[in-house]
Structure formats: structure tokens, C-alpha cells
């Protein structure tokens, strides 16, 4: 049986990691390939025998909104036709439909204005001061108008979303629709589209509350179709072989997913856990420790990968609830586990640092050519010291004969953008770059903010869940992806159960980041930096 299961997964799922994930997403989720291919079971835009037009799909949508709710058969038939038709549409046709939905089925503002005018004519003083029958009638009129106002302020597409959600398979279609909407908004961020997205997001948050989700431990005994999805959707550390997949589901490992009854057989999000003797500082310790330690000897549950499978559920924080449920389950089943931590990537670090280096090089070039930014502002206003004096000397010395530049900043920029990341294959350069890259990484995680919260998306996720920024680990992921994201650096976040709620509230209200001394010390200013200033 086990051999048959492995053969089924191996035959159905090419182990190509991220490429395989993209292939599955392109086939089953938003915005199909431009040739009209679809996963809707033969209902394809390019198939003349069952081809549908955008006009057809719009009409099914209109009827689904306007039809009387007591005509269940007609309503279900229209929703079914819309679902199949929408999946068959090309990229451009889906875009046109979303614009029509946002524009033509928005709030009826004429009706809202009429109701507001009626409401403002009410003599509120008579209601507040009197106690007679007339006043009770006026109060009843107020209640009625307020109810009508609430109904009028709902966009007309609210009916469509409610009905589609109640239809079999409708929740999946709504997730695909929102994923398409997010992609459209990247290029055309119009107010009507933002309003449509905001409303649909709020509805999805309600429909996907923890009470509606089912937690399931994914094991090797699950259907091959589910294991295939785990391989394809793994977003952090690609599953590269059948042995790798089986390893992640066997002794010393756990994999949990959140499922919804309306989308059977497909996790909305899943998390992979390693049971270890201590907090791992490198991903190799997690993925390649063979044989694993005995589970009764483990003291740490390390969350090393969390993957969302539905792009349309972006910014709907299912991971927060999943982590807390998994902590509860592991504590109950394995009492010897007392530490709950992560080994997390830093996806935004490299992009941020290279942007900083580029801006400083541009400012230095302007200074050299005596160019002012404006009459009231010189380039020195925006100049900042990214490297400490000893780091500058070390970089210049280590790169002699390899990379030339006018300054340590220029040399560093050339090193970090070198072809095939040559610096990672030199022990000397690795030793030289460790200090500045680790220090600047601490600055990025602790000080760089967006709307008062951590700029890095993974950091923001764990911090808003109440975790502590515990360790920054050098060369924890030397893979190509790890170098491209964060120069191989990874982070440990620790979930201390006694402080989770307090940390989360502090971060939410003030943006304060709870961090260990081992991280904070990177921001301590060395004495020679003071002297240099």
C-alpha cells in the first residue's frame, strides 16, 4: 500500500519545487494562460463546442443577482453556469467582468441620497422631548429609515457574493475572483475596484472564521491527490523528492492544514513542524537530519514552513489561528515540548539593502559632480552611514584584486550583485560581510517600518501574532533562493505562551517589537562609530 501511494504521488507530481507550484497555480487558480486554457473540465474558451462569451457570463451574473431567492432551481443553475463560464474566460475577459461588477453593481447612491434627505426631515426634537403616541410613531419611522439606509448602503454585488458562497463550489470561485481582482489592481488601482476588494475581503474573513475551518494532520496515509497539492503549494522550502516529502510527514515531523468543507481535499493553508532538541539555527538541521531524534527526547517544536494555497485569501490571516491551534495540539499530545519557535526567511531584506546602497551611490555621485537636489536641500541631507569604519576598511581590503570601486559602498554593491553570487564561495568574503549584513539585517527587522509596522512581511506576520524576535542566523539558508531573499540569513521567532497576547497587543497598538538582547545588540553603536562622527 505504501509503495503504491509513493508511486502515485511520484507519477502525478513532478518534484520541481517552486516551478511546480507556479504550474499548479496557473492551471487551477486566477487568470488563466492567455490561450484560454482552463482547468474547468473541458469548459474552455477555445473549445467551439462549449465556448461562452463575456456577454453570457455577465448575463448569468445579472440573473444571479436579480432573480427571486425562492426560485432555487433557476438560481442554482445560473450560479453554476456563471462559475463554469468565469473559469473559461481569458485574462482580458475576466478583467472586463470585474470592472463591470465594480461599476454596475456598486451602491445605489441615488437611493441613499433620497433616504438621507427623508431622514434629515425628521423632527428629532419631538422624539427626544415627548412621550406621546405621535413620538412613538416618529421613532418607528426612524428605525424603518435606518434599516432602509443600511440596506441601501450595501453594494448590489453583496447579494451575488452571498448567493455564490452558499452555492456548492462557490467559495472557491470567490477566492479565484479575488485573486484576479488583486492582480488587476496592481495595474489599475481604481476606487471602485478597491471598494469591491474591500467588501469581498470582509465577507471572506467572516466566511473563513476559525469556527468554520477544520484542522487536519496531513500524513503519508492521506490521498495522493492531497499529497500532490502539498508538494505543489509548498512555498518556503521546495519539496525536491519523494523521500523529502515522506521525511516531512514521518517521525519527528508534523504537517497540519486548515480545510473548509466548501473546498474539500484542498488545504487553505498548511504548516510544517520539526520536533527537535533545541531551536535550529540553519535549515539544513531541519531538512536533512537523518535519522531524526526520538520524539520523546524533543523539547522544541520548530515551525519551518507555512504556505497559503489560495492567492485570493491574501491578507486574511488564517496563519495566526493555525499556529495557535497547532501549539495547543502539540502541547496536548507531546508534553515534553516546551519551546515553540520558527526558522523564518526574510524575503524583503535583499531588496531593501540593495535599494539603500543604490541611493547612497547616487547621492555620492551627485556630491562628486556638485549637483544639488534643490535650492533648499543638498544631497548630504539624505546621506547616511550604512557601514562602520572598520567594516569599510575590511571590505576594501578583502575585495582587492576582485572588485574595484571608489568606496566601500560601491564595492559592497558590486559584491552583492555579482554574477552567481561569487562572494558566497569565498571564506574570506563571507567572514568580511557577516558583520555588516547581520547588523543591517537587525536594523531592517527592528527599525524599518510601513504604516508603523515591520516592513518585512514575514516579520510582521509573526510579530502581530505575539512572537519574540529571538535570533538572527548567518548562512542559515545557503540555497539560491535563500541568498536571493536575504543573503542566506534566517530568523528565529519564539512564541512564549505567557507573553503572546501582551506582545501582540503592544505591537498592534504602538508597533513595538519585542526582541532578545542577542538581536538588540546589533544596533548598539560601537565606540569607534562615535569617534568617527
Query: Residue 485: what pLDDT?
Result: 94
pLDDT, mean of residues 28-48? 39
Among 4-18, 250-264, 298-312, the minimum mean pLDDT is found in 4-18
pLDDT, mean of residues 443-467? 96
Structural domains counted in the chain: 4
Residue 344 appears among annotated catalytic residues: yes
> Angle of helix 157-166 relative to helix 72-88, nearest 10 degrees?
100
Q: Which residue has the cell 533562493?
A: 481
Query: Residue 28: what pLDDT?
Result: 44
Does the pLDDT value for residue 20 go beyond 90?
no
Show which of 308, 342, 376 is a domain's final residue. 342
- 222 lies in some domain: yes
The CATH number given to whatever domain includes residue 160 is: 1.20.140.90
**CB neighbours of 167 closer than 8 A, spacing ≥ 6?**
76, 79, 80, 83
Q: Are 426 and 503 in contact (CB under 8 A)?
A: no
Q: Which of 269, 273, 155 is nearest to 208 (CA)?
A: 269
Among 120-124, 127-131, 196-200, 468-472, the minimum mean pLDDT is found in 127-131
Same domain for 316 and 385?
no
Q: Which residues partner with 341 through β-bridges? A: 302, 494
- 103 lies in some domain: yes
Q: Which residue has the cell 504537517?
A: 255
Same domain for 289 and 413?
no
Among 98-102, 384-388, 443-447, the minimum mean pLDDT is found in 384-388
Q: Which of 310, 373, 308, 57 is nearest to 174 (CA)?
A: 310
- 263 lies in some domain: yes
- 529 lies in some domain: no
Query: Residue 25: what pLDDT?
Result: 45
Same domain for 357 and 396?
yes
pLDDT, mean of residues 450-465? 96
Q: Which of 167, 237, 260, 462 is catalytic?
A: 462
The CATH number given to whatever domain includes residue 319 is: 3.40.630.150
Phi first, then psi, for residue 525 (nearest 5°) are -80, 120
Q: Which three cell numbers stand for residue 372?
A: 544639488
How far is residue 211's CA from residue 188's CA, in Å, rounded to a whole number?
Answer: 35
How far is residue 83's CA from residue 173's CA, in Å, rounded to a whole number?
Answer: 7
The conformational region for residue 466 under phi > 0 = left, psi -120 to 50 = alpha, else beta, is left
C-alpha radius of gyration, the chain, whole number: 28
What is the β-pairing status of strands 269-276 and 253-259? antiparallel
Q: Are 176 and 312 in contact (CB under 8 A)?
A: yes
Query: Residue 159: what pLDDT?
Result: 94
Residue 374 appears among annotated catalytic residues: no
DSSP character string of 149-173: HHHHTS-THHHHHHHHHHSTTHHHH
pLDDT, mean of residues 229-239? 94
How far is residue 456's CA from residue 445's CA, in Å, rounded to a whole number?
Answer: 7
Question: Can you give the pTM of this predicted structure?
Answer: 0.83
Same domain for 34 and 178?
yes
How far is residue 257's CA from residue 325's CA, in Å, rounded to a whole number?
Answer: 10
Q: Which three cell numbers stand for residue 86?
A: 468565469
Q: Are 197 and 182 in contact (CB under 8 A)?
A: yes
Cis peptide leading into residue 457 (ω within 30°): no
Q: Which of 472, 465, 483 is nearest to 429 (CA)?
A: 483
Percentages helix, strand, coil for the chain, rounded to the nearest 5? 60, 10, 30
Grouping H, G, I as helix, E, B as strand and the rest as coil, residue 341 is: strand
Q: What is the pLDDT of residues 251-298, one digit of tens each?
A: 999 999 999 999 999 999 999 999 999 999 999 999 876 677 889 999
N-terminal to C-terminal alpha carbon distance within the chain = 70
pLDDT-derived band of residue 52, with 50, 70 and 90 as boundaries?
Answer: confident
Query: Residue 457: what pLDDT?
Result: 95
From residue 331, give the alpha-carbon distance in Å to each of 139, 292, 484: 55, 20, 36
Q: What is the pLDDT of residues 62-80, one digit of tens each?
A: 999 998 877 778 899 999 9
Query: Residue 408: what pLDDT?
Result: 92
Query: Residue 68: what pLDDT?
Result: 82
Does the pLDDT value for residue 5 go beyond 70?
no
Q: How much of the chain exceeds pLDDT 70, in percent?
A: 84
pLDDT-derived band of residue 38, with 50, 70 and 90 as boundaries?
Answer: very low
Grouping H, G, I as helix, E, B as strand and the rest as coil, residue 312 is: helix
Q: What is the pLDDT of residues 473-511, one digit of tens each?
A: 999 999 999 999 999 999 999 999 999 999 999 999 999
How far is residue 354's CA from residue 360's CA, in Å, rounded to a whole number?
Answer: 10
- 531 lies in some domain: no
477, HSE (Cβ side, Cα atoms, 13 Å): 26
- 533 lies in some domain: no
- 528 lies in some domain: no
Does the pLDDT value for residue 527 go beyond 60?
no
351, HSE (Cβ side, Cα atoms, 13 Å): 8
Among 25-29, 333-337, 378-382, 454-458, the minimum mean pLDDT is found in 25-29
- 335 lies in some domain: yes
The helices-and-strands tally (H runs, E runs) of the chain is: 24, 9
Same domain for 278 and 309?
yes
Choose the most confident range, by mean pLDDT, from 136-145, 415-424, 482-491.
Answer: 482-491
Same domain for 311 and 263?
yes
Same domain for 311 and 354?
no
Show which of 325, 342, 359 is a domain's final residue. 342
pLDDT-derived band of residue 318, with 50, 70 and 90 as boundaries?
Answer: very high
Q: Are 476 and 283 in contact (CB under 8 A)?
A: yes
**CB neighbours of 115 closer than 8 A, spacing ≥ 6?**
145, 148, 149, 152
Cβ count within 10 A of residue 341: 23
Does the pLDDT value for residue 407 go beyond 60?
yes
pLDDT, mean of residues 114-138? 72
Q: Does residue 79 or residue 139 have the better pLDDT?
A: 79
Q: Which residue has the cell 468554520?
A: 212
Same domain for 60 and 176?
yes
Q: What is the mean pLDDT of the chain?
A: 86
Does the pLDDT value for residue 16 go beyond 90?
no
Show which of 342, 376, 398 is a domain's final residue. 342
Q: Which three cell numbers stand for residue 206?
A: 467572516
Same domain for 181 and 266?
no
Query: Residue 32: what pLDDT?
Result: 42
Q: Which of 344, 379, 398, 486 is catalytic?
A: 344
Q: Which three cell numbers stand for residue 412?
A: 559592497
Q: Which of 107, 267, 108 is nearest to 198 (CA)?
A: 107
**CB neighbours of 411 closer than 8 A, spacing ≥ 6?**
395, 396, 399, 403, 404, 405
Does the pLDDT value for residue 426 go beyond 60?
yes
pLDDT, mean of residues 324-343? 96
Same domain for 252 and 333?
yes
- The domain of 237 spans 212-342
Does the pLDDT value for residue 27 go beyond 50?
no
Q: What is the pLDDT of residues 342-397, one digit of tens each?
A: 999 999 999 999 999 999 999 888 877 766 655 545 545 467 889 999 999 999 99
Same domain for 401 and 501?
yes
Residue 420 DSSP symbol: G
How far is residue 20's CA from residue 27's CA, in Å, rounded to a whole number?
Answer: 11
Query: Residue 263: what pLDDT?
Result: 93
What is the β-pairing status of strands 468-473 and 453-454? unpaired
Q: Which of 296, 305, 309 is nearest to 265 (CA)?
A: 309
pLDDT-derived band of residue 12, with 50, 70 and 90 as boundaries?
Answer: low
pLDDT, mean of residues 2-24? 53
Query: Residue 9: what pLDDT?
Result: 58
36, HSE (Cβ side, Cα atoms, 13 Å): 16
pLDDT-derived band of residue 33, with 50, 70 and 90 as boundaries?
Answer: very low
Same domain for 448 and 462?
yes
From residue 62, give the alpha-carbon distance in Å to each of 56, 97, 273: 10, 11, 46
How far is residue 35's CA from residue 401's CA, in Å, rounded to a whole number?
Answer: 51
How far is residue 267's CA from residue 215's CA, in Å, rounded to a whole number?
Answer: 9
410, HSE (Cβ side, Cα atoms, 13 Å): 11
How far is residue 272's CA from residue 394's CA, in Å, rounded to a whole number?
Answer: 40
Amino acid at each position: 500500500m505504501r509503495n503504491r501511494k509513493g508511486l502515485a504521488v511520484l507519477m502525478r507530481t513532478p518534484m520541481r519545487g517552486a516551478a511546480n507550484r507556479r504550474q499548479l497555480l496557473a492551471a487551477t487558480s486566477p487568470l488563466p494562460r492567455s490561450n484560454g486554457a482552463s482547468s474547468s473540465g473541458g469548459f474552455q474558451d477555445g473549445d467551439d463546442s462549449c465556448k461562452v462569451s463575456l456577454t453570457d457570463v455577465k448575463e448569468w451574473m445579472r440573473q444571479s443577482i436579480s432573480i427571486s431567492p425562492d426560485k432555487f432551481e433557476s438560481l442554482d443553475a445560473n450560479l453554476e453556469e456563471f462559475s463554469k463560464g468565469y473559469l473559461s474566460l481569458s485574462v482580458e475577459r475576466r478583467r472586463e467582468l470585474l470592472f463591470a461588477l465594480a461599476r454596475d453593481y456598486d451602491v445605489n447612491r441615488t437611493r441613499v441620497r433620497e433616504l438621507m434627505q427623508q431622514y434629515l426631515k425628521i423632527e428629532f426634537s419631538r422624539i427626544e422631548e415627548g412621550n406621546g403616541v405621535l413620538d412613538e410613531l416618529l421613532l418607528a419611522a426612524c428605525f424603518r429609515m435606518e434599516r432602509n439606509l443600511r440596506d441601501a448602503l450595501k453594494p448590489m454585488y453583496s447579494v451575488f457574493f452571498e448567493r455564490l458562497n452558499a452555492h456548492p463550489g462557490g467559495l472557491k470561485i470567490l477566492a479565484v475572483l479575488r485573486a484576479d481582482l488583486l492582480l488587476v489592481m496592481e495595474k489599475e488601482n481604481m476606487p471602485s475596484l478597491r471598494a469591491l476588494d474591500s467588501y469581498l475581503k470582509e465577507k471572506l474573513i467572516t466566511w473563513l472564521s476559525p469556527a468554520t475551518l477544520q484542522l487536519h494532520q496531513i500524513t503519508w496515509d492521506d490521498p495522493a491527490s492531497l499529497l500532490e497539492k502539498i508538494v505543489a503549494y509548498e512555498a518556503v522550502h521546495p519539496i525536491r523528492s519523494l523521500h523529502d516529502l515522506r521525511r516531512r510527514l514521518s517521525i519527528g515531523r508534523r504537517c497540519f492544514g486548515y480545510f473548509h468543507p466548501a473546498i474539500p481535499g484542498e488545504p487553505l493553508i498548511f504548516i510544517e513542524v520539526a520536533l527537535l532538541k533545541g531551536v535550529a539555527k540553519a535549515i539544513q538541521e531541519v531538512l536533512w537530519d537523518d535519522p531524526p531524534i526520538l520524539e520523546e527526547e524533543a523539547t522544541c517544536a520548530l515551525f519551518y514552513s507555512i504556505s497559503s494555497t489560495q492567492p485570493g485569501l491574501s491578507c486574511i490571516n488564517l496563519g495566526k489561528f493555525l499556529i495557535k491551534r497547532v501549539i495547543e495540539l502539540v502541547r496536548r499530545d507531546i508534553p515534553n515540548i516546551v519551546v515553540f519557535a520558527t526558522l523564518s526567511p526574510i524575503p524583503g531584506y535583499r531588496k531593501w539593502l540593495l535599494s539603500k546602497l543604490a541611493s547612497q551611490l547616487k547621492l555620492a555621485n551627485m556630491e562628486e559632480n556638485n549637483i544639488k537636489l534643490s535650492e533648499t536641500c543638498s544631497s548630504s541631507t539624505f546621506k547616511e552611514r550604512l557601514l562602520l569604519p572598520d567594516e569599510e576598511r575590511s571590505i576594501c581590503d578583502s575585495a582587492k584584486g576582485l572588485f574595484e570601486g571608489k568606496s566601500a559602498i560601491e564595492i559592497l554593491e558590486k559584491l552583492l550583485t555579482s554574477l552567481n553570487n561569487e562572494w558566497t564561495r569565498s571564506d574570506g568574503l563571507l567572514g568580511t560581510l557577516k558583520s555588516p549584513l547581520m547588523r543591517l539585517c537587525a536594523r531592517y527587522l527592528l527599525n524599518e517600518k510601513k504604516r508603523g509596522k515591520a516592513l518585512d512581511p514575514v516579520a510582521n506576520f509573526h510579530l502581530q501574532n505575539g512572537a519574540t524576535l529571538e535570533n538572527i542566523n548567518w548562512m542559515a539558508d545557503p540555497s539560491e533562493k535563500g541568498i536571493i531573499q536575504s543573503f542566506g540569513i534566517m530568523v528565529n521567532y519564539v512564541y512564549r505562551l505567557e507573553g503572546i497576547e501582551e506582545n501582540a497587543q503592544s505591537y498592534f497598538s504602538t508597533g513595538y517589537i519585542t526582541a532578545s538582547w542577542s538581536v538588540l545588540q546589533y544596533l548598539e553603536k560601537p565606540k569607534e562609530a562615535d569617534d568617527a562622527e
